[in-house]
Amino acid sequence: MITIKDVARVAGVSTSTVSRVVRKQGKVGKTCRAKVQKVIDELGYRPNINAQALVSKKSNSLGVVIPKVSMPFFGTLACGAEEATIENNFRVLISNAHGSEQAELDAIDSLLQHRCGAIVFHSMHCSDDTLCELAEKIPGLVFINRLIPKMAHRCVWLDNNMGAQEAAKHLISNDHKNIAVISRKDVNPDAQIRLDGFRTALNNAGLPFDNELIGFGTTADMDGGKEAVSELLDSGKKFTAILSYNDNMAIGVVHELDSRGIRVPEDISVIGFDDLLISVACIPELTTMHYPVREMAHYAANLAIELADNESSSGKTHLFMPHFIERDSVNRYSA
Amino acid sequence: MITIKDVARVAGVSTSTVSRVVRKQGKVGKTCRAKVQKVIDELGYRPNINAQALVSKKSNSLGVVIPKVSMPFFGTLACGAEEATIENNFRVLISNAHGSEQAELDAIDSLLQHRCGAIVFHSMHCSDDTLCELAEKIPGLVFINRLIPKMAHRCVWLDNNMGAQEAAKHLISNDHKNIAVISRKDVNPDAQIRLDGFRTALNNAGLPFDNELIGFGTTADMDGGKEAVSELLDSGKKFTAILSYNDNMAIGVVHELDSRGIRVPEDISVIGFDDLLISVACIPELTTMHYPVREMAHYAANLAIELADNESSSGKTHLFMPHFIERDSVNRYSA
DNA sequence: CTGTTAGCGCGTTCAT
DNA sequence: ATGAACGCGCTAACAG
């Protein structure tokens, strides 16, 4: 691997000059710059990022901690973050952390070893307190898809409550009065908040809230959706529409209904949440709430990078809104 | 950030000793090791990876070049590679390179700057020659999902021909005689090979091959699938089954058929390729060929890491086989 | 505008 | 078994 010294020697200048040319900063004579650049090109010299990071004490890389890149939602998140790094001439380090608090902490740790000062963290298993501690130690740490009250200015989050309200309102405005909800069994703050939003919408419309119209899935995927809707169906309770915690569960719901000969949306309307790619694969294509993950991750990455060298916390709030996407899984109810 | 010197000072030993303890190698007295470890834990010392990489001349990180992590296929690929890095105590650097040869070359370049010697490269836009040149410069470079004859031992690829044959055979064994193919318009080696496999299967079964039964999509996604099948349908040609280049296109096909009131599989059978998550979201769930990307990426990552410090090319071939997944989109044909 | 000097944090000899 | 010294490739003062 050819080094800055090689370039300096061949070009007949000092390493400092080469360094200046490479980083395009500092004063260098026009002819000198051209000469050095020529040698750089000829030799194919590439600065050693490790050395740069070591001496300049910053790695110019952004860490992204997510459960798993192979999940489309998180893949999209990673992509959004990556977009931001390109603008900043940064690089992305993706750390998968699936299943436990320890895994998440380890992922952060690994990023820290790389000295990446800017980190976008999607935590599912750490407590608010743990996250606060971390945030204090790492100025460039930003949380995505989570609101930590004490750290609000470091959180990029979605208004789940409003999202669920919007979804419910759309159902209600289509004359549905008996609306079931598909939720997840594990304690998940988002699920709770979306449930609250649903309840609020019902309230605002003067509709009663029925606890027995909530079905819970063990997992927040297709299987969970099937499980939850089966439970609901078997209970004998009547409903004409279903608001699902997310698209994956919603698709499970559609499959289960289909297998029981119940048509969507003719017999039962279904609305999802997230607007994953998968939502258009389903027949009927899923009406859902669009979750702007890519944009949020992009924003979060920029925030992290900014925070990492400014330390200035503007105190701003970083709240995003989901928006309604009309497709084919919701019908107007006619008794 | 606390350094090895801090630990050495507090523990009252030299930095060399600390270094030995950290890397668990070299002789260190038992009590001494314990003492140092204690200080490390107390201070929360983490070695600076950049410094380690600089001095040891290896970064212990694996680069992965793919078009885009947000695409489920590539997200899965990245995950497979990551699994391998964990075993090797490596880290993953994911470089998205979408759309052009230059983008791919830049991605490789960026990885080289990080001095990651091991790279898994999914190239879509570079010529074999370009790739060969690259491979010669980078001993730890491995190509995935592509066969470069002159570099076969550095390629981890899938037998697309056999895969297409299998798929076709399944259709044929279900008494389908008029089978249409959905392919992609752009020149893509895989598409060509799968077409060959299809033709071979037809031949082996003594069935005629009809050029007009091939529909081309501009893009290899749902839209492309719709486009291609529309063309076929509008041509008036008769067929009872469709073999699709991939799942995404197959799902587009199913949607288009559905919108025309043609039932799958009752009227027309459809078989996909890849076995993406999305294939079970569709109704009916897609019968398809499973593409073991995760396993292949895992294997490729290990190979890259091995090659990066061995330089030994075993000359082995790294060929994977897709396998048939039966679901609900194929019926037996009965005239 | 350009070169010299001094480290960054760490691993690796080589003594002891 | 342990420490001193050196250098990895580079940037950041400081001279000139």
Q: How many CB atoms lie within 10 A of CB A233?
A: 18
- Distance, CA of B54 to CA of A114 (rounded, Å): 12
- Contacts with B138 from chain A: Cβ below 8 Å: none
Q: Is B310 exposed, middle or buried (0-12, 13-18, 19+ CB in 10 A)?
A: exposed
> CB–CB of B18/B36 below 8 Å?
yes
Which residue in B49, B69, B282 is closest to A75 by CB distance?
B69
Q: Considering chain A, tell me which residue range(s) the CATH 1.10.260.40 domain(s) occupy.
A: 4-47
Tell me how many degrees the CA angle B42-B48-B51 measures, rounded to the nearest 5. Answer: 145
Chain D positions with any atom < 7 A from a protein CB: 1-5, 7-13
CA distance linking residue B12 with residue B98, whole number of Å? 52
Distance from CA of B296 to the nearest CA of A (A): 14
A218 Rama class: left (phi>0) / alpha (psi -120 to 50) / beta? alpha
Instruction: Reply yes or no on whether the pLDDT at A124 is more than 90.
Output: yes
- pLDDT tops 80 at residue A335: no
CA distance B47 to chain A (A): 6
Say if A282 is an interface residue toward chain B (CB within 8 Å): yes
Residue B50 backbone class (left: φ over 0; alpha: ψ -120 to 50; beta: rest): alpha
Omega of the bond leading into A284 within 30 degrees of 0 (cis): yes
pLDDT class of B1 with cuts at 50, 70, 90: confident
pLDDT at residue number B201 = 98
Tell me the one-letter amino acid at B81: A
Tens of pLDDT, residues B240-258: 999 999 999 999 999 999 9
CA distance B259 to A298: 37
> CB-based contacts of B12: which residues, under 8 Å, 6+ apart?
none
Residue A315 has pLDDT above 80, yes or no: no
Q: And the tokens for B304?
A: 């890259």
Four-CA torsion A235, A237, A238, A242, nearest 10 degrees:
-70
Sheet harboring B155-158: ordered strands across? B91-96, B61-66, B118-121, B141-144, B155-158, B318-320
Q: Does A292 touch chain B (CB under 8 A)?
A: no
The confidence score (pLDDT) of residue B123 equals 96
In chain A, what residues touch B51 (CB-CB under 8 Å)? Answer: 50, 54
Residue A77's pLDDT band (cuts 50, 70, 90):
very high
Min Cα distance B204 → chain A (Å) is 34
The rounded mean pLDDT for chain A is 95
Between A4-11 and A15-23, two packed helices, what is the crossing angle to 10 degrees? 110
Q: Provide the token pair at A276.
A: 């994953």
Pairing of β A155-158 and β A318-320: parallel
Nearest nt (C1') from A113 Cα: C9
Contacts of A45 (CB under 8 A, 6+ apart): A2, A3, A4, A6, A7, A22, A39
Subunit contact B283:A280, Cβ cutoff 8 A: no
Instruction: Return the beta strands (E) in chain B as ranges.
Output: 61-66, 91-96, 118-121, 141-144, 155-158, 179-184, 214-217, 241-244, 269-271, 288-290, 318-320, 323-325
pLDDT, residue A9, reads: 94
- With distances taken from each CA to the C1' atom of nucleotide C8, the closest residue turns out to be A55
What is the arithmetic mean of pLDDT over B3-29? 93
Question: Which chain A residue lies closest to B277 (C-alpha atoms)?
Answer: A278
Closest CA to B101 of B130, B135, B63, B139: B130
- pLDDT tens-digit series, residues A188-214: 889 999 999 999 999 999 999 999 999
At residue A25, the pLDDT reads 87
pLDDT single digits (tens) B198-212: 999 999 999 999 999
Architecture of domain A4-47: Orthogonal Bundle (1.10)
In total, chain B counts a number of residues equal to 335
Q: Which of A301, A317, A67 is nearest to A188 (CA)?
A: A67
Instruction: Compare all CA atoms of chain A with the CA of B58 and give the residue at the minimum distance.
Output: A50
pTM: 0.94
- Mean predicted lDDT score pLDDT of chain B: 95
Say which range, A52-61, A237-246, B177-186, has the weakest mean pLDDT: A52-61
Distance, Å, B15 CA → D1 C1': 14
Q: What CATH number does the domain located at B160-291 have?
A: 3.40.50.2300
Q: How far is CA B232 from the centre of its chain?
A: 30
Domain boundaries for CATH 3.40.50.2300 within chain A: 55-158+293-321, 160-291
Helices (DSSP H) in chain A: which residue ranges? 4-11, 15-23, 30-43, 49-56, 72-87, 101-113, 128-137, 160-173, 189-204, 222-235, 247-259, 293-310
Contact state of B91 with A92 under an 8 Å Cβ cutoff = no
Q: What is the pLDDT of residue A61?
A: 92
Q: What percent of chain B has pLDDT over 90?
A: 91
Residues 13-32 of A with CB under 7 A from strand D: 15-16, 19, 22-23
Asked if B70 and A294 come within 8 Å (Cβ–Cβ), the reply is yes
Q: How many CB atoms lie within 10 A of CB A252?
A: 27
Name the residue facing A53 among B50, B72, B251 (closest C-beta). B50
Cα radius of gyration rounded to whole Å, chain A: 25
Contacts of A158 (CB under 8 A, 6+ apart): A145, A291, A292, A296, A319, A320, A321, A322
Q: Which residues of A touch B282 (CB under 8 A)?
A: 281-283
CA A234 to chain centre: 35
Nearby residues of A257 by Cβ (< 8 Å), 6 or more positions away: A229, A263, A264, A267, A268, A270
Task: Write the pLDDT tens digit of every residue in A22-66.
Answer: 999 888 999 999 999 999 999 999 999 999 999 998 888 999 999
pLDDT cut 90: percent of chain A above it? 90
The reply to whether A10 Cβ lies less than 7 angstroms from strand D is no
pLDDT given at position A334: 87
pLDDT attached to residue B311: 67
Shortest alpha-carbon distance between residue B95 and chain A (Å): 8
Residue A137, CB-side half-sphere exposure with 13 Å CA sphere: 14
Tens-digit pLDDT profile for residues A272-313: 999 999 999 999 999 999 999 999 999 999 999 999 987 666
**Do you find a cis peptide bond into A149, omega within 30 degrees of 0?**
no
**DSSP letter string, B162-179:** HHHHHHHHHHHHTT--SE
Which residues have CB under 8 Å from A289's CB, separation 6+?
A163, A164, A166, A167, A271, A272, A273, A274, A275, A322, A323, A324, A325
Report which of A276, A280, A209 is spatially closest to residue A247, judged by C-alpha positions: A276
pLDDT for res A1: 87
Type of residue numbered B77 = L
CA distance A203 to chain B (A): 34
CA distances from B102 to B68, B136, B163, B206 (A): 15, 19, 31, 45
Say which CATH superfamily domain B55-158+293-321 falls into. Response regulator (3.40.50.2300)
Short-list B97, B127, B122, CA closest to B109: B97
Residue A70 to residue B76, Cβ atoms within 8 A: yes
Q: Which residues of B touch A283 (CB under 8 A)?
A: 254-255, 258, 282-283
Select from A49, A70, A93 the Cβ nearest to the Cβ of B113: A49
Percent residues over pLDDT 70 in chain A: 99
Question: d(Cα B110, Cα B117) in Å, to the nearest integer?
Answer: 12
Beta bridge partners of A91: A61
- pLDDT tens, B277-311? 999 999 999 999 999 999 999 999 999 999 998 76
pLDDT of res. B313: 67
Task: Tell me the pLDDT tens digit for each residue of B123-168.
Answer: 999 999 999 999 999 999 999 999 999 999 999 999 999 999 999 9
Backbone φ, ψ for residue A51 (5° rounding): -65, -45
Measured CA to CA in angstroms, residue B43 lies from A57, B11, B104, B117, B304 at distances of 20, 11, 42, 32, 36
**Which residues between 208 and 267 in chain B have a beta carbon less than 8 angstroms from any beta carbon of chain A?**
222, 251, 254-255, 258
Q: What is the predicted pLDDT for the residue at A158?
A: 97
Provide, in whole angstroms, the distance separating residue B55's CA from nucleotide C12's C1'.
9
Interface-testing mutation among B3, B22, B48, B50, with chain A (most A C-beta atoms within 10 A):
B50
Q: Check: CB of residue A252 under 8 Å from CB of residue A221.
A: yes
* Among B278, B70, B65, B281, CA closest to A293: B70
- The span from the CA of B81 to the CA of B163, in Å, is 23
Confidence of residue A127 (pLDDT cuts 50, 70, 90): very high
Beta-bridge mates of residue B121: B65, B143
Distance of C1' in D11 from CA in A55, Å: 6
pLDDT at A313: 67
Alpha-carbon gap, residue A300 to A314, rounded angstroms: 14
